[in-house]
Amino acid sequence: MLHCIAVIRVPPSEEPGFFETHADSCALCHHGCMTYAANDKAIRYRVGIDVGLRSIGFCAVEVDDEDHPIRILNSVVHVHDAGTGGPGETESLRKRSGVAARARRRGRAEKQRLKKLDVLLEELGWGVSSNELLDSHAPWHIRKRLVSEYIEDETERRQCLSVAMAHIARHRGWRNSFSKVDTLLLEQAPSDRMQGLKERVEDRTGLQFSEEVTQGELVATLLEHDGDVTIRGFVRKGGKATKVHGVLEGKYMQSDLVAELRQICRTQRVSETTFEKLVLSIFHSKEPAPSAARQRERVGLDELQLALDPAAKQPRAERAHPAFQKFKVVATLANMRIREQSAGERSLTSEELNRVARYLLNHTESESPTWDDVARKLEVPRHRLRGSSRASLETGGGLTYPPVDDTTVRVMSAEVDWLADWWDCANDESRGHMIDAISNGCGSEPDDVEDEEVNELISSATAEDMLKLELLAKKLPSGRVAYSLKTLREVTAAILETGDDLSQAITRLYGVDPGWVPTPAPIEAPVGNPSVDRVLKQVARWLKFASKRWGVPQTVNIEHTREGLKSASLLEEERERWERFEARREIRQKEMYKRLGISGPFRRSDQVRYEILDLQDCACLYCGNEINFQTFEVDHIIPRVDASSDSRRTNLAAVCHSCNSAKGGLAFGQWVKRGDCPSGVSLENAIKRVRSWSKDRLGLTEKAMGKRKSEVISRLKTEMPYEEFDGRSMESVAWMAIELKKRIEGYFNSDRPEGCAAVQVNAYSGRLTACARRAAHVDKRVRLIRLKGDDGHHKNRFDRRNHAMDALVIALMTPAIARTIAVREDRREAQQLTRAFESWKNFLGSEERMQDRWESWIGDVEYACDRLNELIDADKIPVTENLRLRNSGKLHADQPESLKKARRGSKRPRPQRYVLGDALPADVINRVTDPGLWTALVRAPGFDSQLGLPADLNRGLKLRGKRISADFPIDYFPTDSPALAVQGGYVGLEFHHARLYRIIGPKEKVKYALLRVCAIDLCGIDCDDLFEVELKPSSISMRTADAKLKEAMGNGSAKQIGWLVLGDEIQIDPTKFPKQSIGKFLKECGPVSSWRVSALDTPSKITLKPRLLSNEPLLKTSRVGGHESDLVVAECVEKIMKKTGWVVEINALCQSGLIRVIRRNALGEVRTSPKSGLPISLNLR
C-alpha cells in the first residue's frame, strides 16, 4: 500500500485547474490517508461527479461562505472500458476470463483422467490406442462389434476393448454434476435422449431396433447406411457450419454409455470388478463447487453480533435467503405509519403487522401487489398510509410497490414442478438450505450444513431441471445484506411480537444507539459487476486525492445515467428492448401521420396524446362519449394540491371537454364520490373501460398491459390529490447510486470529529443535469469542440469534456434548485400534454426566496462556465484512462485460423508449401511456427538475414536432439503479425507494450524505431521491469520486428528511450502536420494536440486517435424533433474517429519535434517523479 507523504499546496493566485505533482505526493491514496486536519487553510469546495456509460467526469469547485464559486480546483474526465475491454463488446472481461479459466481447468482435468485411464488399460493388459484411430469412424464399428459378438482372439479382443474404452472416455456425455459417480453403477432405463437417437436412426435407415440397443450400435449402423453423416456438432454445407445438429443432437447421457459399457463387459466376459473400475475411471469428476468454507472467509461479518460477542463469526446473509425476504417485508411494514384523522400518525399494531405480513409473504404471483391492496387489508383509505408506503408518485420517496418474498416468486416461476411442490411443504430452514445449495454463493450459514433431503432432490434432477435451476440461480436476488441469519431471525421475531420499528427493535435487542446503521463498505469495495467496480475504484481514487489535497469537501453531488452503473449484459438487453420500442414507436408515428393527415416535426407530447386516445378507442375514459384528436382533452386523474401534476401515462386520461370542466382540480375518486358528475360517469364504468383496453394497441406484453391497467384503476379509486411536489423524484433511486452515496457518506462522516459539519452527499438522476444545463444555457456557453451543424441546442457528445461540464453543473446543484428544476419540468410536461399556455419557463420558485436563489444560481453557473472555458482554451481539462502495465491481460485472439490458408481479410495468396531442402526466404524463416526450428535455421550454413537460405537437397539439421532431413515440412504463419501455433493452426497474439528506440546511423543521423513486445514473450519472467527485460532472439516479438531495428540492436547503435502501451497519451505539435488526412482533420476540428495510442498493428507504425474526442455521435443517428439532425461529418473526421485512426510512422512522428508521452495521477496532473513507483511522463526527443 502506498501512503501520502507530502502534498504541494498551490496558492490561490496561481492559475487554477492544472498542477504538477510534487515529488512526494501520493500515487494512489488508499485507506487511512484522509484526515480532517488535512484542510489547514479551510478551503471550502464542492464536488460534482458525472457517472456515464464509459466515462466519469470530476469537478472540484472552490466556493465562498455563501457557496458562490471562486475557482475550479480540478476538472478531469476519466474514460474506462465498462469492464468489457472496449466498445462493441457485450460480454465482460471477467466473464470471458472465467470461461477461459474453466476451459483450461476442464482441459487439465481431462488430461489427468485420460492418463489415469491409460494406466488402468495397461494394468489390464489391453494397451493404449493411437489418437489417429480414435479420430476416425472405426471406434463406432468396434463398439457395435463388442456388443453383438464375443471376440475369440484374445489379442484382437483386448485391442478392441482398449479402443472402445478410450473412445467412450473422450465423449462421455452428461450427468448431473451433483450426483456421485457411484450412482452410475445402478442399472437404469434408457433416457429420453437415447430414445430420441433411436427414433432418428430408425427414420433414416428404415430399420427397427430393440429397446436395449446401444449408442455405438445405432451410430455404426447409420454410418454403414450413410458414411458422410454428421455425428457431432453442426452439419456443414459448402465448408460452413449450419444451424442443423448432427445425429447425436448435442447432449447425451452418461447413464446410456454405462449401459453400453455393461453390455460390452458382459459380452466380452469381463469381470464385474473390472467393469466397476472402468466406470469409476472413465466417468470420474470433481465436485462442481469450491469449498464453501474457503468462500466464506471472504464474506463480511455481522457487526451487531460482533458488538455482543467479539468472537462471534456470523457471516452476512444472502439477499435470496428466505430469512431476509421475511425480514424485508416485516421491517418495511414496521416503518410504515397510518395517518390518523384526529392527531398525527401511528404505527401498525402487532395484529395489523402480522396480518399484512402474512398476506405479502404468501403472495406468489408474478404481478406485484399494490399499496391499495395493503390499505384494504388494513381497512384504511390508501392516502392515509405514510412512511415506506408513501406513494412515489407524490414525492419520489417510498416504495412503488409493497415488498414481497421475491425468492418464493422466482422459485414458483422456475417451471420445476418438483421444486414448487417441495417448496410449498418445506419450512423456512429447509428452504434456506435449498437456496444455499442452488445459489451461486457459499450460503448464509456460519458452518457447512448437510441437508440430506435437499441433496437427494438436487442429485436426482434431470438435465433439463438442472438447466432451469441454473437460470433460477441467476434470477435470485443477488448480493448480501448487513445482517447475519441469527440477527435477521431475532429482529423479525421481535418486530412481529412487539410491533416496534426496525430502529427500536435493534436498539432494544443489541443495546446500540438509536439510529444505528451498519458501517458502509469502502468506496472501492467491489460489488462483482465489472462496470460498477471500475466506477467505484476511480471515484475512490479521485476523492481520496482531492481530500488529501484540499481537505474535506462541503458537498459531494453525484449524477449518473441508467447505463453508468449497469453491466454490459444488462445494457445489451436494454439496447435490444430500446430498438424494439423504437421500431414500434416509428410504426405508431406513421399510423398517427396517416390517420391525422399531418406531416413535419412533432412533439413527444403529441405522440403521447395520440397513444392515450388510441388506447381508449376514441372514447372518454370518464363518460364513454366519442371523442377525436381535435376535440379531446388530456386530464390528470389525480392532480397535486400545488397545481403541479404527475404526467406519467398511467395518470393521464383522454376525456371530453364537459367531463374535464366538471372534474376541475379534484381527484377522480373524490369527484365521483360527490355525486354531481355528468351522466354516464361512475367509478365502475371507468374501471370497466380500462379493463377493455387491448395490449395490441401499444404493442405491450400481457404482463405489462396488466400492470398498466392496475395502476390506472388504482388512481381512479384514489380520493385525495397528491401532496405538494418536493422535487425528490429528481433524485436517483437506482440501487447502485444509493449504495455509492452511502459509501461516500461513510468515508467522510464515519470518523468525523465532534463539531465538524457532516459532508452532504446527494445522488441525482441524469435527467436533472440535462434540465439544469438547458435552464442555464450551459451547452451554448461552454466552448467545446463541435461537429459542423451542431448549433449548441443539444448536448455535445463529440468532445469528451462534456462530462467535465456536467460535473461542474452538478457540483453547483443544491436541493432547493433541484426542487425548482423538477417543478419546472413537471409543469412543462403537463402544459404540453394538456396544450395549456406554456408558462413553465417563467417559474423560478414557489416563494420569493426561492426565486432569489434561482437567480443567484444562474449567475453562479454563468461564472463557473467562464472559468471552465478558460481551462478549455488552455487545454487544461485532461482526459485520462487506466493503463494495463501488469502482464495479466489477454495473450492471444480467441479464434484459431488455419496455417494452410491466407488469414481472413488478408491480401496474401494461399501459403506456399516448403520443406527443409527448399530455398527459404528470410521472411518465411522469421514466420516459422517453432522457435527452436527458427534457431536451427538461422544457424544453418549459408543463412543470410536478407535472403534467407538457398536450396539444398542434402540439408540436415538437429532439432531438440533429433536429426531432421531435407524433406522435413516447414510450417509457418501466413501473416506478418505475431502469432502462436495452437491445435494445428494459429492465433494472433496481443501486445503488452511497444519499446521506442533511438538509432544513431552514419554521419550521426538519428532515426526512431518501434519494437512491439507480445504478452506471451513476457510470461514466466520474474522481473520487476517488464519494459526493459531482454528478449530472446527467437521470441516472436524479435522475429517480427523491423529489420533495420534488429540490425541496429545487433551492432549496438540502438538505444531504448521509452515505451508505450495502449491508452498512453501523446502530445504533439499539430502545426507540424499540415498535409494529408491528418491536416484536414486538424483544420476541421481545431489544433488537437493530445492523442491516444489505440493500436500497434505494424512494426514501424502506431495508430493514434484524438484523446479529447469521442466517436459516439458518429455511431448512432441523432434525432431532433422527430427528424434527422443536421450534423455534418467530414470524411477525414469519420476516417480518423470511426475507421482507421491516424496511422503514422514512429520515425516521422518523433522527427516532427518535441513529442511528450504523458502519464497522469488520479487528478489528471502530469506525473514527473518516479518516487511513487508508477510510470512518469517522458520526452521522446
Cβ-based neighbours of 386, under 8 Å, separated by 6 or more: 336, 337, 338, 339, 345
Q: Of 1052, 1053, 1050, 997, which is closest to residue 1028 (Cα–Cα)?
A: 997
Euclidean distance between CA atoms 627 and 617, whole angstroms: 9
Euclidean distance between CA atoms 838 and 546, whole angstroms: 43
DSSP 558: E
Contact in structure between 313 and 446 (CB atoms under 8 Å): yes
Torsion of CA 1081, 1083, 1088, 1091, to 10 degrees: 20
Q: What SS3 state is found at 1011? A: strand
Task: Give the DSSP per-residue string, 93-145.
Answer: HHHHHHHHHHHHHHHHHHHHHHHHHHHHHHHTT-----HHHHTSSHHHHHHHH
Of these residues, 50, 501, 806, 918, which one is catalytic? Answer: 50
Tell how strand 385-386 and strand 337-339 pair up: antiparallel
- Locate 544 and state its grid cell: 481520496
CB atoms within 10 A of CB 620: 27
Show the beta-strand stretches assigned E in 142-278.
234-237, 240-245
- Torsion over CA: 686, 692, 697, 700 (sign): positive
Of these residues, 321, 636, 992, 993, which one is catalytic? Answer: 636
Phi first, then psi: give them for residue 933, nearest 5 degrees.
-65, -40
Contact in structure between 560 and 766 (CB atoms under 8 Å): yes
Contact in structure between 1036 and 978 (CB atoms under 8 Å): yes
Cα–Cα distances in Å, from 824 out to 67, 605, 973?
Answer: 23, 16, 65
Which residue do the cell numbers 491445435 mark? 983
Task: For residue 470, give the amino acid letter.
Answer: E
CB atoms within 10 A of CB 701: 9
Is 1143 exposed, middle or buried, given 0-12, 13-18 or 19+ CB atoms closer than 10 A? middle
- Locate 200 and state its grid cell: 432418428
Contact in structure between 97 and 530 (CB atoms under 8 Å): no
Euclidean distance between CA atoms 317 and 332, whole angstroms: 18
Euclidean distance between CA atoms 859 and 886, whole angstroms: 48
Euclidean distance between CA atoms 769 and 355, whole angstroms: 44
Length of the chain in terms of residues written: 1181
Is 426 exposed, middle or buried, given 0-12, 13-18 or 19+ CB atoms closer than 10 A? middle
CB atoms within 10 A of CB 99: 12
- Locate 240 and state its grid cell: 460452413
Cα–Cα distances in Å, from 823 out to 509, 627, 841, 853, 1159?
Answer: 43, 31, 11, 15, 45
Catalytic-residue membership of 50: yes
Task: For residue 667, give the amino acid letter.
Answer: A
Cβ-based neighbours of 569, under 8 Å, separated by 6 or more: 90, 91, 92, 95
DSSP 513: P
Euclidean distance between CA atoms 581 and 569, whole angstroms: 18
Catalytic-residue membership of 636: yes
Contact in structure between 304 and 482 (CB atoms under 8 Å): no
Contact in structure between 5 and 22 (CB atoms under 8 Å): no
Active site residue ranges:
50, 636
